[in-house]
Amino acid sequence: MIFFLTFFIILLWFRPSLGGILLHYEIFYGPLKLGESKISIAEREYKAIAYTTGIGNIIYPYHAEWITSVDERGYPLTAVIYSKDRFKERRKILYFDSKNQKVILEKILPKYKKKVFQIYFPVFDELSSFVYSWKLNYFSQKKYNLPLYIDGEKHFVSIDYIGILNCKYNDQEMTCFNLMVELPEKSELLKRSRKVQVYLLDKEKIPVEITGSLPLFGNLKAYLKEVKTF
Protein backbone atom coordinates (compact mmCIF):
# COMPACT_ATOMS: atom_id res chain seq x y z
CA MET A 1 0.00 0.00 0.00
CA ILE A 2 1.68 3.20 -1.20
CA PHE A 3 0.58 5.31 1.75
CA PHE A 4 2.21 2.81 4.11
CA LEU A 5 5.52 3.79 2.55
CA THR A 6 4.91 7.49 3.02
CA PHE A 7 3.77 6.93 6.59
CA PHE A 8 6.52 4.42 7.27
CA ILE A 9 9.21 6.90 6.26
CA ILE A 10 7.73 10.07 7.70
CA LEU A 11 7.35 8.78 11.24
CA LEU A 12 11.04 8.51 12.00
CA TRP A 13 11.74 12.02 13.17
CA PHE A 14 12.35 11.95 16.90
CA ARG A 15 15.57 10.99 18.64
CA PRO A 16 15.38 11.06 22.45
CA SER A 17 18.44 12.28 24.34
CA LEU A 18 18.41 9.33 26.74
CA GLY A 19 17.59 5.68 26.05
CA GLY A 20 15.20 4.86 23.24
CA ILE A 21 11.59 5.20 22.27
CA LEU A 22 9.06 2.87 20.63
CA LEU A 23 6.12 4.36 18.71
CA HIS A 24 3.12 2.23 17.68
CA TYR A 25 0.72 3.52 15.00
CA GLU A 26 -2.48 2.24 13.40
CA ILE A 27 -3.37 3.12 9.80
CA PHE A 28 -6.96 3.68 8.65
CA TYR A 29 -9.00 4.34 5.53
CA GLY A 30 -12.14 5.89 7.01
CA PRO A 31 -13.27 3.42 9.71
CA LEU A 32 -11.30 0.51 8.22
CA LYS A 33 -7.98 -0.40 9.77
CA LEU A 34 -5.51 -1.44 7.06
CA GLY A 35 -2.24 -1.87 8.95
CA GLU A 36 0.21 -0.88 11.65
CA SER A 37 3.71 0.50 12.03
CA LYS A 38 6.14 0.16 14.92
CA ILE A 39 9.17 2.39 15.16
CA SER A 40 12.05 2.10 17.61
CA ILE A 41 14.53 4.94 17.85
CA ALA A 42 17.79 4.78 19.78
CA GLU A 43 20.71 7.20 19.85
CA ARG A 44 22.56 5.71 16.89
CA GLU A 45 19.96 3.48 15.21
CA TYR A 46 16.45 3.98 13.85
CA LYS A 47 14.26 1.01 12.96
CA ALA A 48 10.75 0.87 11.50
CA ILE A 49 8.43 -1.97 10.57
CA ALA A 50 5.21 -1.45 8.59
CA TYR A 51 2.72 -4.18 7.71
CA THR A 52 -0.84 -4.71 6.58
CA THR A 53 -3.47 -6.29 8.82
CA GLY A 54 -7.01 -7.61 8.36
CA ILE A 55 -8.61 -6.29 5.19
CA GLY A 56 -5.28 -4.70 4.26
CA ASN A 57 -3.81 -8.19 3.91
CA ILE A 58 -6.63 -9.12 1.55
CA ILE A 59 -6.31 -5.97 -0.59
CA TYR A 60 -2.52 -5.81 -0.76
CA PRO A 61 -0.39 -7.84 1.69
CA TYR A 62 2.73 -5.85 2.50
CA HIS A 63 5.65 -5.91 4.95
CA ALA A 64 8.56 -3.46 5.10
CA GLU A 65 11.55 -2.87 7.37
CA TRP A 66 14.03 0.00 7.38
CA ILE A 67 17.08 0.22 9.66
CA THR A 68 19.45 3.20 9.57
CA SER A 69 22.59 3.65 11.66
CA VAL A 70 23.69 7.26 12.11
CA ASP A 71 26.70 9.26 13.28
CA GLU A 72 26.72 11.69 16.22
CA ARG A 73 25.19 14.45 14.05
CA GLY A 74 22.32 12.29 12.83
CA TYR A 75 23.64 11.69 9.30
CA PRO A 76 23.33 8.13 7.94
CA LEU A 77 26.19 5.65 7.90
CA THR A 78 24.28 2.64 6.59
CA ALA A 79 20.67 1.84 5.71
CA VAL A 80 19.19 -1.65 5.32
CA ILE A 81 15.86 -1.61 3.46
CA TYR A 82 13.60 -4.65 3.05
CA SER A 83 10.12 -5.08 1.59
CA LYS A 84 7.86 -7.93 0.58
CA ASP A 85 4.54 -7.82 -1.24
CA ARG A 86 2.41 -10.34 -3.09
CA PHE A 87 4.75 -10.37 -6.06
CA LYS A 88 8.31 -9.70 -4.98
CA GLU A 89 10.82 -9.62 -2.11
CA ARG A 90 13.46 -6.85 -2.08
CA ARG A 91 16.48 -6.13 0.09
CA LYS A 92 19.23 -3.54 -0.29
CA ILE A 93 22.00 -1.94 1.76
CA LEU A 94 23.20 1.65 1.38
CA TYR A 95 26.65 2.73 2.57
CA PHE A 96 27.23 6.48 3.02
CA ASP A 97 30.87 7.44 2.49
CA SER A 98 30.97 11.15 3.34
CA LYS A 99 34.78 11.32 3.16
CA ASN A 100 34.79 10.32 -0.52
CA GLN A 101 31.38 11.86 -1.32
CA LYS A 102 29.93 8.50 -2.40
CA VAL A 103 26.92 6.32 -1.74
CA ILE A 104 27.42 2.62 -2.36
CA LEU A 105 24.32 0.59 -3.20
CA GLU A 106 24.36 -3.16 -2.66
CA LYS A 107 21.21 -4.91 -3.83
CA ILE A 108 20.73 -8.33 -2.25
CA LEU A 109 17.25 -9.28 -3.49
CA PRO A 110 15.80 -10.11 -5.96
CA LYS A 111 19.18 -10.17 -7.78
CA TYR A 112 22.59 -9.10 -6.51
CA LYS A 113 23.88 -5.82 -7.90
CA LYS A 114 26.38 -3.24 -6.74
CA LYS A 115 26.61 0.42 -7.79
CA VAL A 116 28.53 3.50 -6.65
CA PHE A 117 27.07 7.01 -6.91
CA GLN A 118 28.93 10.32 -6.58
CA ILE A 119 26.80 12.52 -4.29
CA TYR A 120 27.53 15.89 -2.71
CA PHE A 121 27.32 15.55 1.07
CA PRO A 122 25.82 16.17 3.53
CA VAL A 123 22.76 14.07 2.68
CA PHE A 124 20.25 12.13 4.71
CA ASP A 125 18.51 8.95 3.79
CA GLU A 126 14.72 9.21 3.89
CA LEU A 127 14.51 7.86 7.42
CA SER A 128 17.22 9.96 9.09
CA SER A 129 16.01 13.18 7.44
CA PHE A 130 12.72 13.00 9.29
CA VAL A 131 14.36 12.15 12.59
CA TYR A 132 16.38 15.31 12.16
CA SER A 133 13.37 17.41 11.16
CA TRP A 134 11.49 16.80 14.40
CA LYS A 135 14.17 18.76 16.25
CA LEU A 136 13.92 21.83 14.02
CA ASN A 137 12.88 25.18 15.52
CA TYR A 138 9.62 26.01 13.73
CA PHE A 139 9.18 29.29 15.60
CA SER A 140 12.39 30.83 14.29
CA GLN A 141 12.02 29.42 10.78
CA LYS A 142 8.77 28.40 9.07
CA LYS A 143 10.14 26.43 6.12
CA TYR A 144 12.96 23.92 5.78
CA ASN A 145 14.43 21.94 2.88
CA LEU A 146 16.48 18.89 3.79
CA PRO A 147 18.76 17.06 1.31
CA LEU A 148 17.96 13.39 0.63
CA TYR A 149 19.72 10.60 -1.17
CA ILE A 150 17.18 8.64 -3.24
CA ASP A 151 17.92 6.13 -5.97
CA GLY A 152 21.33 7.49 -6.98
CA GLU A 153 20.31 11.16 -6.86
CA LYS A 154 20.09 14.09 -4.46
CA HIS A 155 16.56 15.34 -3.75
CA PHE A 156 14.92 17.56 -1.12
CA VAL A 157 12.05 17.20 1.30
CA SER A 158 10.17 20.43 2.06
CA ILE A 159 8.63 21.04 5.50
CA ASP A 160 6.26 23.98 6.09
CA TYR A 161 5.12 25.09 9.53
CA ILE A 162 1.43 26.11 9.21
CA GLY A 163 0.66 26.95 12.84
CA ILE A 164 -0.53 25.66 16.22
CA LEU A 165 -3.73 23.63 16.65
CA ASN A 166 -5.47 21.35 19.13
CA CYS A 167 -5.06 17.62 18.58
CA LYS A 168 -6.01 14.45 20.46
CA TYR A 169 -3.94 11.65 21.91
CA ASN A 170 -5.37 9.01 24.28
CA ASP A 171 -8.66 11.00 24.32
CA GLN A 172 -6.85 14.06 25.70
CA GLU A 173 -6.64 17.50 24.13
CA MET A 174 -3.05 18.35 23.25
CA THR A 175 -1.22 21.19 21.49
CA CYS A 176 0.37 20.31 18.16
CA PHE A 177 2.39 21.84 15.35
CA ASN A 178 0.57 21.61 12.03
CA LEU A 179 3.19 20.66 9.41
CA MET A 180 2.82 20.21 5.66
CA VAL A 181 5.48 17.95 4.22
CA GLU A 182 6.22 17.63 0.51
CA LEU A 183 8.21 14.56 -0.42
CA PRO A 184 10.03 13.71 -3.65
CA GLU A 185 8.04 11.42 -5.91
CA LYS A 186 10.87 8.91 -5.84
CA SER A 187 11.53 6.67 -2.87
CA GLU A 188 13.89 3.83 -2.03
CA LEU A 189 10.75 1.71 -1.64
CA LEU A 190 8.00 2.79 -4.09
CA LYS A 191 6.40 5.90 -5.51
CA ARG A 192 4.16 7.45 -2.89
CA SER A 193 1.90 10.31 -1.90
CA ARG A 194 3.95 13.52 -2.15
CA LYS A 195 2.02 15.78 0.24
CA VAL A 196 1.45 14.74 3.82
CA GLN A 197 -0.01 16.59 6.80
CA VAL A 198 1.52 15.93 10.20
CA TYR A 199 0.27 16.88 13.67
CA LEU A 200 3.39 16.99 15.85
CA LEU A 201 3.15 17.29 19.65
CA ASP A 202 4.75 20.66 20.44
CA LYS A 203 6.69 19.49 23.52
CA GLU A 204 7.30 15.78 22.98
CA LYS A 205 8.02 16.23 19.24
CA ILE A 206 6.13 13.07 18.33
CA PRO A 207 3.53 12.91 15.51
CA VAL A 208 0.08 11.91 16.75
CA GLU A 209 -1.74 12.04 13.41
CA ILE A 210 -0.58 11.78 9.79
CA THR A 211 -2.77 12.24 6.69
CA GLY A 212 -1.87 11.48 3.09
CA SER A 213 -4.03 11.72 -0.01
CA LEU A 214 -4.04 9.14 -2.81
CA PRO A 215 -5.82 9.31 -6.18
CA LEU A 216 -9.04 7.22 -6.23
CA PHE A 217 -8.70 6.30 -2.55
CA GLY A 218 -8.79 9.73 -0.91
CA ASN A 219 -7.33 10.33 2.55
CA LEU A 220 -5.64 7.67 4.65
CA LYS A 221 -4.74 8.43 8.26
CA ALA A 222 -2.27 7.09 10.80
CA TYR A 223 -2.92 7.56 14.53
CA LEU A 224 -0.48 7.18 17.39
CA LYS A 225 -1.68 4.31 19.59
CA GLU A 226 1.12 3.86 22.12
CA VAL A 227 4.51 5.21 23.20
CA LYS A 228 7.06 3.18 25.16
CA THR A 229 10.61 3.91 26.30
CA PHE A 230 13.47 1.42 26.59
Per-residue pLDDT of 18-77, as tens digits, reads: 468 999 999 998 899 999 999 888 989 999 899 999 998 888 899 999 999 999 999 999
Phi, then psi, of 131 in degrees rounded to 5: -60, -45
Q: How far apart are CA 7 and CA 126, in angstroms?
A: 12
pLDDT, averaged across the chain: 86
pTM above 0.75, yes or no: yes
**56 near 1, Cβ under 8 Å?**
yes
Given pLDDT bands bounded at 50, 70 and 90, which one contains residue 170?
confident
- Beta-carbon count within 10 A of 203 CB: 8
Mean pLDDT is highest, among 54-58, 131-135, 142-146, for 142-146
Structural domains in the chain plus CATH codes: 2-229 (2.50.20)
Amino acid code (one letter) for 173: E
Residues above pLDDT 70, as percent of the chain = 87
Query: Please, which pLDDT band fits residue 9 given cuts at 50, 70 and 90?
Result: low
**H helices of the chain, where?**
2-10, 55-59, 126-133
Closest by alpha carbon to 67, among 85, 44, 96?
44
**DSSP string spanning 193-213?**
-SEEEEEEETTT--EEEEEEE
